[in-house]
Amino acid sequence: MSQKENIVLLNGKYVSWKDARIHVSTHGLLYGSGVFEGIRGYQDRSKAQVNIFRLREHVERIYRNASILRLKPPVTADEFSDGIVEVVRRNGFQTDVYIRPMIYFGEGGIGIKPKGHSTDYFIFATEFGNYFGEPRPLNVCVSSWVRGTNNSMPPSAKISGSYVNSMLASVDAMEAGFDEALMLTHNGYVSEGSGENVFIVKGGKLITPPVSADILEGITRDSVMRLAADSGIQVIERDISRTELYTCDEMFLCGTAAQITPVGSVDRRTISNGAAGEITSRLMRAFESAARGAEKRYADWLTPVYE
């Protein structure tokens, strides 16, 4: 099915892709005043079901983030969750999908203050495979663009306007011949990728930057930490220096779009032998098994679309 034939939920109405339009005075367009989520749905191994991955946590997060912008969603969290499932169901997807819900200040006047603007939302979904294309270890670089701080634009929230910071870093990295950018904090420690959390492995231990490193508290990050702990892998949250990126045993990025993607080199310095390491590979297999519904102890992470 062509994406142009998809069904979109826009302010409580199911409309065609071509009719899913917003007004030119939409505050979220003019000033980036909206919050969003990226959510995956995975086809299970029977190929008869699509399960939405950690739907409850994604909806809880978008509602928390909406409160930061003083957005008051026009529907309840349960109604929003039901809308996400229904969009996938109405489109009849029988493959992996990516779902993009957004809540934002809508049509109104001109000015930074959103007074008088409506609070709008939409939910759309599209077929989606590997974010970085053909699976392989990535070649990444440390960006000259620094991650925004919590006192300027809260990085812990998925606010649409703040992703210009990520876009600048990502585009520069690609134009320089890399697959992705890594961003540092204002203090020079590792923060995250343009749209992914970062993990390194040293001495058999899994290490990731803490929330204080201006990261998004990723739901995939949380899933990786749970999978690692359940596999007996020690997980440490601490500051990571730039130099440690060059000398670690393994490294990977994770996020809804990226899933778990190994990194082969940083700033053209090869990590170990440049391939996915043993712990990275174990976690990739564990995540795939959980997301596809093959591991029953993580069944509460999955919301089935089709009855």
**Two structure tokens written together for 36:** 């969003």
Integer angstrom CA distances of residue 136 from 17, 37, 196, 261, 263:
33, 26, 16, 8, 8
Distance CA 293, CA 173 (A): 35
Nearest CA to 103 among 179, 41, 26, 50?
26
Integer angstrom CA distances of residue 186 from 29, 164, 167, 212:
28, 17, 18, 11
158 catalytic per annotation: yes
Nearest CA to 291 among 96, 87, 116?
96
Q: CA triplet 294, 224, 235: central angle to 5 degrees? A: 135
**Two structure tokens written together for 285:** 């297999």
**Two structure tokens written together for 195:** 């749209």
**Candidate list 158, 202, 205, 296, residue with the active-site label:** 158
- The pairing of beta strand 34-36 with beta strand 7-10: unpaired
- Whether 212 contacts 187, CB under 8 Å: no
**3-state DSSP call for residue 113?**
coil
Distance CA 142, CA 200 (A): 15
Using CB atoms within 10 A of its CB, is residue 277 exposed (0-12), middle (13-18) or buried (19+)? buried
Q: What is the length of the chain? A: 307
Q: Could you tell me how far CA 263 lies from the centroid of its own chain?
A: 17
Provide the annotated active-site residues.
Answer: 158
